[in-house]
Structure 1
Amino acid sequence: MRKTWPTMATLGAAVSISLCVSAGAKPAALPVTGDRLEAVQSSVRGRLKDPESARFELVFSIQKGSGEFVCGRVNAKNGFGGYNGATPFSGLLLKRGAAFSFENVSIENPNEIRDMCLALGIYI
């Protein structure tokens, strides 16, 4: 009986994974890097009081139509010179010729952004 337990656990895990895949699991979120990350950071910085103080973390994307839906967090100084803590942001990353453009940027409603990103499988 003891030798059967690992086999049953392995079988159970395999069945669970196959059910998730066959049930249309969400595509995996991928880290945003290189020129794509530069476009995202530039656009988000344009919305901050102190753009030079911006610190980005957990910037991930998921393919959506002809672009990528991006979620991430940014921490930047407020009007008093102190850091507020990481604030979520989101937007759509599009390829425009040879360059990337980050559009429809949202940073004003943190709870809504978190919920939307979570629904898409992006954990920030």
Structure 2
Amino acid sequence: MNMKRFTVLAIAGMLCAPLAAHADGPYSSIDLTSEQTEFVKQAVAKRLKDPDSAKFPDKFSAVRDDSDKESVTVCGEVNGKNSFGAYSGATPFYISLIPPFSGPGTKEPFYALVTMIGGGEFEPAVVVEMCKEFGIRSF
């Protein structure tokens, strides 16, 4: 196994570990606030080769774990330009929002805990499966 494949598998394993803790809990669909939606768009766009080219649908699918009222899991699709300057087509993403640590100087309303975008480091099917683990079937 080459080192790049091993690294990707190791990262995927670390990212899936929290699912074991969440897999038992029920989830409730929620509507994101405009502030949350913009934060998600910015966090995902930063991971693209050309962040300014990011195109998103009007809404994302979001759920909240009923046992943890503050964390939000968001799944959706993004289309962005590739290295050749062409749009590569919609690819799924997964992001978990958590509230910031309280204290003086906290400016951001949320922190992006994990971002996975299909087609790069992760196969799109892996991202879709992560979303399904949280009860998100379509986005």
Equivalents in 1 of 2:123, 2:27: separation in Å? 25
Aligned residue for 1:44, secondary structure, equals helix
Max radius of gyration: which structure? 1
Gaps of 5+ in 1: 1-25
Partner of 2:109: 99
Partner of 1:74: 78
Contact 1:35 1:100 in 2 (8 A): no
Equivalents in 2 of 1:109, 1:85: separation in Å? 14
Partner of 1:48: 48
Aligned Cα root-mean-square deviation (Å): 2.3
Task: Give the TM-score normalised by the residue count of structure 2.
Answer: 0.63
Aligned residue for 2:110, secondary structure, equals strand
Equivalents in 2 of 1:117, 1:31: separation in Å? 16
Gaps of 5+ in 2: 1-25, 103-107
Equivalents in 1 of 2:76, 2:112: separation in Å? 13
Q: Tell me by how many angstroms 1:28 deviates.
A: 4.2
More strand by share: 1
Q: Tell me by how many angstroms 1:29 deviates.
A: 2.4
Q: How many residues align?
A: 101
Q: Tell me by how many angstroms 1:36 deviates.
A: 0.5
Deviating above 6 A after TM superposition, structure 1's stretches of 4 or more consecutive aligned residues are none
Amino acid paired to 2:75:
C
Equivalents in 1 of 2:133, 2:96: separation in Å? 16
Partner of 2:30: 30
Q: Tell me by how many angstroms 1:78 deviates.
A: 0.5
Partner of 1:62: 63
Equivalents in 1 of 2:132, 2:109: separation in Å? 28
Aligned residue for 1:106, secondary structure, equals strand
Equivalents in 1 of 2:55, 2:33: separation in Å? 15
